[in-house]
Amino acid sequence: MPQPLGNKVENGRKLRGLAIVAQAGTINRIDSNTYSVKSQSGNGWYQVTKENGEWRCECPDFVNRGVICKHCYAVNCSITLRDSALSQNFSRPLEVPEPNALSCERCGSTEVFKRGIRRNKAGQVQRFCCRVCGNRFVINEGFLKMRNDGKIVCLALDLYFKGNSFRKIADTLSQFYGVKVEHSTIIRWLQKYVRIAKAFVDDLKPELSGIYHVDEMVVRVRKTEPMKIGNKYGIQNENFAWLWNLADHDTRFLLASRVSKRRNVEDARAVFQDAKKLMVKRPLAVVHDGLHTYNEAFNREFYTNNGPRIENVRSVGQRDEGLNQMVERLNNTVRDREKTFRGMDNDKSAQIMADGMRINYNFIRPHMGLDGKTPAQVAGLDLPLQGIRWKELIKQATLKREARA
């Protein structure tokens, strides 16, 4: 039996054992009880075997002194690391739909049964097989054929909407997860999954109060047509655009976020039209800051001689101060995020960013003013999104899209 050592001597052997593990190709597994460990001096290999639950080594340190040597520590550490990796990748419980809720992607048959598990870098993936045509397939939850784990992709999205730049996100993934990705890859992730999520959430019908607030703000777009902006230095041509936001009063649910080059009537009407697609009932009132284009756009989109009257509330003057405060507070939230954009790239990507912020605001980000709930939950859209919220949202969006195809 190996003899116990003093703490200082034992710690020295442990450190040297860790040094062996850190070098590639120094430990070979023969079977579960036998390993060969390369000598640090370069004089061949030592065999480490397990007898009666204890590791024994052929090295002089173990044979002559009868102590736990660095090679035993190295083997023990190697086994611990291997078990940890297997536990993280392959022992997570699978969350898959029952076979009778699925249909074959080739022939459409519901005669489907489970057929083994596929293991990859992302963990376990349940495979299914069709009894009719023999087709074997896996369920596409949004990250099929992606090189990186879906958790990594969703972490990048979450960090972005919490105010980090693309390059900072790439650095974080490299430091903490050993994932090497370019910042341009993260941009493509964002554009891809915002489109998928938008197609899903825009079909949902929230329960709203009927009182809506609308306001516009200036955002910087780098590759866009310059427009004239007046400030204390006079009129200047700047690469700016207008971001319009329309939200419900009680639920804080953001119905529309639209980027435009102008603030004319047609732009305001487009914002109202986007919002009307999500309205189940006629609105009670629309509150705005008195911009003249809102009045004409309101009359064209909401005014009617039939049915209850919809109030057009112009929040102007000192007496009306605070009527439109809710959406102005929302604009400040957008402004905090927009500071790290360093300018949206172009008009098309600016709209994608605005859609992403709207989705994150409604479904992902809890609000203190709503007792820690999201606007979607308050509006009766409890999907639910447990655990990694972006991942669950993408999963539900992808499964619905696959069902439609």
| DSSP string over 277-305 | TT-SS--SEEEE---HHHHHHHHHHT--S
Task: Report d(CA 128, CA 138) in Å as an integer.
Answer: 6
Phi, psi for residue 293 in degrees, rounded to 5: -65, -25
Residue 116, in any domain of the structure: yes
Task: Report d(CA 195, CA 390) in Å as an integer.
Answer: 13
Give residue-wise pLDDT tens across range 147-192: 888 899 999 999 998 888 899 999 999 999 899 999 999 999 999 9
Query: 223 and 299 share a domain?
Result: yes
pTM: 0.67
Is the pLDDT at 4 greater than 50, yes or no? no
Query: 263 and 320 share a domain?
Result: yes
Q: How many domains does the chain have?
A: 4
Query: 152 and 219 share a domain?
Result: no
Full residue range of the structural domain in which residue 333 is found: 207-349+370-375
Give residue-wise pLDDT tens across range 61-85: 898 888 888 898 888 888 877 776 5
Query: 242 and 111 share a domain?
Result: no
Is the pLDDT at 142 greater than 90, yes or no? no
Residue 352 makes CB contacts below 8 A (sequence gap 6+) with 190, 191, 194, 195
| Length of the chain as a residue count | 405
Query: 337 and 396 share a domain?
Result: no
Residue 354, in any domain of the structure: no
Task: Report d(CA 190, CA 195) in Å as an integer.
Answer: 9
Relative to beta strand 136-138, strand 240-248 is: unpaired
Query: 24 and 12 share a domain?
Result: yes
Q: Please give the full DSSP string across 143-157, using - where no structure is assigned.
A: -TT-SS-HHHHHHHH
Cis, bond preceding 375 (omega within 30 deg of 0): no
Q: How many Cα atoms sit within 13 Å of 288 on the Cβ side?
A: 22
pLDDT, position 6:
47
Residue 167, in any domain of the structure: yes
Query: 131 and 157 share a domain?
Result: no
CATH number of the domain that 129 lies in?
2.20.25
User: Letter for the amino acid at 99?
Assistant: P
Rg (CA), the chain: 30
Residue 128, in any domain of the structure: yes
pLDDT, position 219:
84
For 58-67, 86-95, 151-160, 289-298, which range has the lowest pLDDT when averaged over its residues? 86-95
Residue 47, in any domain of the structure: yes
Token output for 325: 């405060």
Residue 359, in any domain of the structure: no
Residue 364, in any domain of the structure: no
> Which residue, 3, 29, 11, is CA-closest to 73?
11
